[in-house]
Structure 1
Amino acid sequence: MKKILTIFVLALFGSFLVHFSEAQISTPSPSPTGKVEQKVGLTDVTINYSRPGVKGRKVFVDVEEYGKMWRTGANSATTLAFSDDVKLEGKEVPAGKYALYSIPGQEEWTVMIYKDLGLGGNVGAYDASKELTRFTVKSVNNPVHVESFTIDVGDLKNESATIRLMWSDIIVPIKMTVDTESKVMASIDRFAKNPNASLVNQYASAANYYFANDKDLNKALEWITKAVEFNPNAFWHVQTKARIQAKMKDYKGAIATANKSMEIAKAAKNDFGYIKSNQGYIEKWSKLQ
């Protein structure tokens, strides 16, 4: 009898827990989480943060304060993660994950990159000895009202970008630089020392990089010629060769190569617009001979 009673009580308690769980109320977070994932050059940048709203208040007067440390968001601290070494406002930041804290000012902000991810939003326990670095950034006026605190990564270039903190009518732009050039050059050098016929796209990528960045065009022509030799039906690579020749001011050779690219493209089931683009290049280069 005692055993039966125990089973009954456990069953009743289990039923209560199920109904209690189903009765929980779900509501939206007042400061929802946000995430930014962006590649800058060859570097992956990941930002996790929470997004408080203005909600009719005056930021850094009614909510948060100028001159006081801020977790740079809501809830836990904002975090930044970099797959490679970067520089923020000229300060070295090794690859890794960090917390982002700041001291807002009416004209200038102090930004701190913090190594201890366990601090979270407890800014009262901030330990300056755990800072990786800090720097100052001038804020600028935003003509567009930003209701929810927003972080984005813009002004993207191969070697740089801008991390922007935006809230209400304020923008805090943080300049980030990455070392893309040496990584690309190192990969090209490794490939050039050990070429392989199966790596057609590697030859083409190296040639395109040299072409686009005004490097040794003779080397670019050598590499794209190898790519074409290994895959003579790749009319897109043949056109790249023509463009390199034109940049070297060999317009006669460029026109002949572009005609070859167009001939191959016409034989393909889909030319992806290369027939038209070749015609445009030929017309342009004919005037430059």
Structure 2
Amino acid sequence: MKKFTLLLCMMSIGFFMKAQIQTPAPSPFSTLEQKVGLTDVTVKYSRPAMKGRKVFGDLVPFDAIWRTGANQNTTISFSDDVTVEGKELKAGTYAIFTRPSEAVWEVFFYTATDNWGTPQEWDASKVAATVKVETMDIPMPIESFTITIDDLYNNGATLGIMWENTYVGVDFIVPTVSKAMKSIEETMANKEDLTANDYFAAGSYYFAEGMNMQQAKEWVDKAVEMGDGSAYWMMRTQSLIYAKMGDKEAAIEAAKRSLAAAQAAGNQDYVKMNKDSLQEWAKM
């Protein structure tokens, strides 16, 4: 009898464990990971939906601190020290709180990230940075609350917050130049170990940042010289450097070599870019 009762209990436990109901979360959790230059940026947040409701000025009151999402704190992490709208922000993780209004939002980067919603008592000493950004109208409704990292370039990006018909963008700058220069200097110091890719990475970065063009030319020339003639992307950059330095004939020759290599590799993007450049330079 005892064995039967034990078996019945185990079957009942198994039944209730299997019978657990799973339903969609009203505000699904989302993680956004983005490399900006050489800096890792991660945003974690929950995404409420409009569901026919009026959001800003109603569901989210104006001129009051908002959790900027739903559920637990919306957070952003930076792997390096950054500058946010001119304000310095140390590497680390911050809760994002906002104070929306019709024309301007205040955005707070708060060091305590363990709140569920807004803090019961707002502690100004935990505000690492506060910035103000103007709102922009969106022509189509955004049903789900959305955070983006947009307008990426080597040295920064824009943290975008959008919902309903409102968008705000917070610009931030990352320390790509200092990190890249340190990497280039350390790598280029070991001459005997350098590869074509090392020379190309250093030269193309100098070119992209508008730095020492003569040095960029020497490094990219060395990369092309070390190759077997198939690296159409290297010869493409080489042609652009020559053009930037005013050497049209050398630019055209490099573009022709890049075009031939791109055609052989079947890369139509580079085929088109080289043809466009050759057409442009022929008219100069």
**Shorter-chain TM-score: which interval?**
0.7 to 0.9
Matches for 1:47-66 after TM superposition, within 5 Å: 47-66=43-62
User: Corresponding residue for 1:253?
Assistant: 250
- RMSD, matched Cα: 2.7
Measure how far apart 1:151 and its partner are: 1.0
User: Corresponding residue for 1:158?
Assistant: 154
Identity level (%): 41
2:1 is the alignment partner of 1:8: no
Equivalent position to 2:63, from 51, 62, 67: 67
Equivalent position to 1:105, from 86, 90, 101: 101
User: Corresponding residue for 2:144?
Assistant: 148
Question: Over alpha carbons, which structure has the higher Rg?
Answer: 1
d(CA) in 2 for partners of 1:140, 1:109: 11
Contact kept? 1:197, 1:230, Cα under 8 Å: no
User: Corresponding residue for 1:115?
Assistant: 111
User: Corresponding residue for 2:38?
Assistant: 42
Contact kept? 2:47, 2:146, Cα under 8 Å: yes
Q: 1:279 to 1:147 in 2, by over 3 A?
A: closer
User: TM-score, normalized by length of structure 1?
Assistant: 0.85
d(CA) in 2 for partners of 1:258, 1:97: 46
User: Corresponding residue for 1:211?
Assistant: 207
Contiguous gaps of at least 5 residues in structure 1:
none
Q: 1:123 to 1:281 in 2, by over 3 A?
A: closer
Q: 1:123 to 1:202 in 2, by over 3 A?
A: same
User: Corresponding residue for 2:166?
Assistant: 170
d(CA) in 2 for partners of 1:261, 1:133: 48
User: Corresponding residue for 1:139?
Assistant: 135
Q: Deviations over 1:174-215 (max 9, x none)?
A: 121222222222222222322345521110111112223332
Q: 1:123 to 1:235 in 2, by over 3 A?
A: closer
Equivalent position to 1:201, from 183, 190, 197: 197
Contact kept? 2:188, 2:194, Cα under 8 Å: no
Letter in 2 for 1:44: D
SS of the aligned residue for 1:101 comes to strand
Contiguous gaps of at least 5 residues in structure 2:
none
d(CA) in 1 for partners of 2:273, 2:58: 58
